[in-house]
């Protein structure tokens, strides 16, 4: 096991019981200490109890600049300098143009885009000081083509992709690997199985396998960095 004082420190912004939890488990498994940002401490508290001292619960609304700054201070004080940031939070609210309220639209943007921006601003100075770092943004099919009815979610995901690309141009030459992952399909979670009751042949992405891909990006040699990765199950139809 890696000596504790040499473990890399990561923040996962937006931890829930699906992919967020799988990302935290993968990072801890690979010897990282992880700050878990979530608005509700209930689930992440249980996850921290499962994973032990290497997982820190940090109740944070990432759309609030003061809470994000406080969350990063907490992680730095308790775990150390942040070397890895996964901007994973998003919100799918509203239904179509006329049934999506202005508040719902703004909330989607504040969580997915503004929150990712705030987290990156807090993470980057320390990464620059250390001469290395990795920032990964979680995208979706909606990052590259709009989904009917999901005007708030789709437009916010388009913006997250633009943020990732802009930061890559700015930060790659300074040793920080910025990447965007498109999750093109439905993630297999207990909630999905309870709600939708998918058939045995339904194309589903395993959260643990997705988390492996994130870790592979974090580990990439800087001579061959990936900017964008599109993940989909083998039996998912293309462009439908």
Domain coverage including residue 219: 4-228
CB atoms within 10 A of CB 70: 15
CA distance 124 to 50: 29
For the cut 90, the answer to whether the pLDDT of residue 85 exceeds it is: yes
With respect to residue 234, please indicate whether it lies within any of the assigned structural domains.
Answer: no
With respect to residue 56, please indicate whether it lies within any of the assigned structural domains.
Answer: yes
- Choose between 84 and 42: higher pLDDT: 84
Q: For residue 149, what is the DSSP state?
A: T
Burial of 128 (0-12, 13-18, 19+ CB in 10 A): middle
Banded model confidence at residue 239, pLDDT cuts 50, 70, 90 = low
What are the residues whose beta carbons fall under 8 Å from the beta carbon of 163, sequence distance 6 or more? 113, 116, 117, 120, 137
Report, as an integer, the average pLDDT of 215-225: 97
With respect to residue 104, please indicate whether it lies within any of the assigned structural domains.
Answer: yes
For the cut 50, the answer to whether the pLDDT of residue 9 exceeds it is: yes
With respect to residue 240, please indicate whether it lies within any of the assigned structural domains.
Answer: no
**Contact between residue 72 and residue 9 where contact means Cβ atoms under 8 Å apart:** no
Counted domains in the chain: 1
pLDDT of residue 6: 72
Of 13-17, 64-68, 147-151, 236-240, give the lowest mean pLDDT range.
236-240
CATH number at residue 173: 3.40.50.720
Report, as an integer, the average pLDDT of 68-90: 96
pLDDT of residue 240: 61
With respect to residue 239, please indicate whether it lies within any of the assigned structural domains.
Answer: no
Banded model confidence at residue 5, pLDDT cuts 50, 70, 90 = low
Banded model confidence at residue 90, pLDDT cuts 50, 70, 90 = confident
CA distance 21 to 43: 9
pLDDT of residue 158: 96
DSSP assignment of 68-96: HHHHHHHHHHHT-SEEEEEE--------H
Average pLDDT score, the chain: 92
CA distance 13 to 111: 10
pLDDT in tens, 185-215: 889 988 888 888 888 888 899 999 999 999 9
pLDDT of residue 1: 36
């Amino acid at each position: 096991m890696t000596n504790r004082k040499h473990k890399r420190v990561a923040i996962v912004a937006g931890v829930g019981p699906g992919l967020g939890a799988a990302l935290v488990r993968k990072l801890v498994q690979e010897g990282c200490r992880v700050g878990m940002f979530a608005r509700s401490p209930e689930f992440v508290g249980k996850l921290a109890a499962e994973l032990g001292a290497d997982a820190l619960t940090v109740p944070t609304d990432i759309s609030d600049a003061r809470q994000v700054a406080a969350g990063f201070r907490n992680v730095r004080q308790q775990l150390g300098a942040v070397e890895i940031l996964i901007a994973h939070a998003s919100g799918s609210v509203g239904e179509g143009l006329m049934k999506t309220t202005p508040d719902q639209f703004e909330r989607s943007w504040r969580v997915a885009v503004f929150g990712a921006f705030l987290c990156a601003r807090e993470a980057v100075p320390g990464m620059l000081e250390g001469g290395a770092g990795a920032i990964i943004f979680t995208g979706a099919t909606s990052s590259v083509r709009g989904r009917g009815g999901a005007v708030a979610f789709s437009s916010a995901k388009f913006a997250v992709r633009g943020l990732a690309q802009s930061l890559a141009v700015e930060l790659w030459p300074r040793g920080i690997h910025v990447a965007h992952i498109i999750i093109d399909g439905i993630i297999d979670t207990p909630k999905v199985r309870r709600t939708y009751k998918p058939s045995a042949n339904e194309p589903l992405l395993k959260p643990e396998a997705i988390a492996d891909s994130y870790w592979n990006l974090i580990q990439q040699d800087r001579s061959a960095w990936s900017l964008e990765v599109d993940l989909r199950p083998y039996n998912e139809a293309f462009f439908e």
